[in-house]
Amino acid sequence: MAEQIGFVVKTELNDYAQVVLDRKGACGGCQPSSGGCRSCLASAKIHSRVANPVSAKVGDHVKIHLSSANLFSGAAILYLIPVLGLLIGAFTGAWASSAFGFSDSFGSIVGAMSGLAVGFAVVIILGRRLGIRQRMVPTITQIVTPSIGKLDLKNTPCCG
């Protein structure tokens, strides 16, 4: 279960909000070397669109939750389906190449590219399905500190 504290910067229609979060793991393993890891060049803030069932307002500090099961199933959809498409396409291309008189290598390459394209298409189709998309979106579970008035991003703990 992944939980983080964020800061609401914008509310949207249909119970969604834009939230700013602190990046937690980008610089955890930096080594002081001449090459460096370069992850510190990226912004230390993450802007995320989250579900807002608790009706948080702009300026609220909120607790955001994404269950581990949804996180892992989203990662599986995003990473495993294209790889499986690539492998299935490569083996199918090698098998089908002999029927058309092509070399196994050519059939494998064409099949792998085709399978990868089909895998990405499946990911896009699954990502556009409303039920799957709603499960993968982080959700505001609690308002930790309500907004007091005027929004001041420079003096907030997560944004300043």
pLDDT value of position 135 = 73
Tallying the residues shown for the chain, one arrives at 160
Q: What is the pLDDT, as a whole number, of residue 74? A: 83
**Pairing of β 45-51 and β 16-22:** antiparallel
* Cα Rg of the chain, angstroms: 22
Do the beta carbons of residue 20 and residue 6 sit within 8 Å?
A: yes
Q: What is the pLDDT of residues 95-137, one digit of tens each?
A: 999 888 889 899 999 999 999 999 999 999 988 886 777 777 8
pLDDT along the chain (160 residues), means of 10: 83 88 62 55 76 90 85 86 96 90 91 96 86 78 75 53
- The CATH classification of domain 2-28+39-67+138-155, taken from the options 3.40.640.10, 2.40.50.140, 3.30.70.141, 3.40.50.1240: 2.40.50.140
Domain ranges of the chain: 2-28+39-67+138-155, 70-132
Q: Which residues contact 44 (CB under 8 A, 6 or more apart)?
A: 22, 23, 26
The C-alpha atoms of residue 104 and residue 98 are separated, in whole angstroms, by 7
Question: To the nearest whole number, what is the mean pLDDT of the chain?
Answer: 81
- Position 98 scores a pLDDT of 84
In the prediction, which pLDDT does 155 show?
53
The closest of 134, 143, 154 to 6, measured between CA atoms, is 143
